Amino acid sequence: MGVSKLEIYPQYVNDIAQIAKVFSHPARVAIMQYISTQESCICNDIVEEIGLSQSTISQHLKVINNAGLLKGTFEGKSVCYCIDIERFEMFQKIVDTFFNRTKQNCC
Amino acid sequence: MGVSKLEIYPQYVNDIAQIAKVFSHPARVAIMQYISTQESCICNDIVEEIGLSQSTISQHLKVINNAGLLKGTFEGKSVCYCIDIERFEMFQKIVDTFFNRTKQNCC
DNA sequence: ATTTAATATCGTAATATTACGATATTAAAT
DNA sequence: ATTTAATATCGTAATATTACGATATTAAAT
């Protein structure tokens, strides 16, 4: 069918899958990485840095943003994107807990 | 186009995306989780546990296996799957390093 | 008010993913 | 040798993702 059956999994399993999905495309990994190296970040810089079209970058930024990982402020004509560190750390903790729990139980 | 342009990213960026992809589907998260709770694991149990068809589970197991996360031994008619803990810990380390590096640099 | 630059959105084509039933394969049990 | 049970693979339909060009939107600069 092509649709994931989300309703058959416990919440925390879906949470982990959703977090992983954000980082499952190299463009999004690269964007996160790049934003983190900037004082503050302007989308146009990202386009040049990554090498995809402006509209594609904008789409990827939307996915990252929808996951709650960005804080954007408008500075003049351009948007300054920043990583929402608290949210990012929350993701790290959830992922790390999953790894540790799985490791621990394992045969 | 629909194809990710893998050649424009550094290796480690593609690595992280590929690791994340394994966990980007809840079925695969649930399978890893479930395998970890068993002494050793038989696919048929997984089918009953997760609630997808046998062929779908088999497909997801293949994805997990292709990532190098499983060690399988044949026990009679059934396959006993085990998590390759060393590989799993390697993934954990790579992911954790990404989180930490990104956090550290950030504005 | 008009222009300009940055970013978002729309429409669309190409490809990937998910799911399942049907069938193939495999090895033990009879 | 045949049956049985477990798992893998094939074929296919439905949907999601990726990418891009064209266009819309927005706010500052003129």
CA of B63 vs chain A CAs: smallest distance (Å):
14
In angstroms, the CA A81 to CA A66 distance is: 13
Residue B1: predicted pLDDT: 55
**Residues lower than pLDDT 70 in chain A:** 1-2, 74-77, 106-107
Confidence at residue A34, expressed as pLDDT on a 0 to 100 scale: 93
For residue A75, what are the contacts with CB-CB under 8 A and spacing of at least 6?
A: A40
pLDDT at B22: 98
Q: How many beta carbons lie within 10 A of that of residue B61, not counting itself?
A: 22
Q: From B32, B39, B21, select the one nearest B57 (Cα to Cα).
A: B32
* DSSP-derived secondary structure letter, A7: G
Domains of chain A: which residue ranges?
Answer: 11-100
CATH topology of domain A11-100: Arc Repressor Mutant, subunit A (1.10.10)
Q: 14-73 in B: which are within 8 Å (CB) of A?
A: 14, 16-17, 20-30, 32-33, 35-41, 50-52
Q: What is the pLDDT of residue A43?
A: 76
CATH fold of B9-105: Arc Repressor Mutant, subunit A (1.10.10)
pLDDT at residue number B80: 83
pLDDT tens for B52-100 read 999 999 999 999 999 999 987 766 667 788 899 999 999 999 999 999 9
Q: Supply A82's token pair.
A: 């920043």
Residue B74 confidence (pLDDT): 62
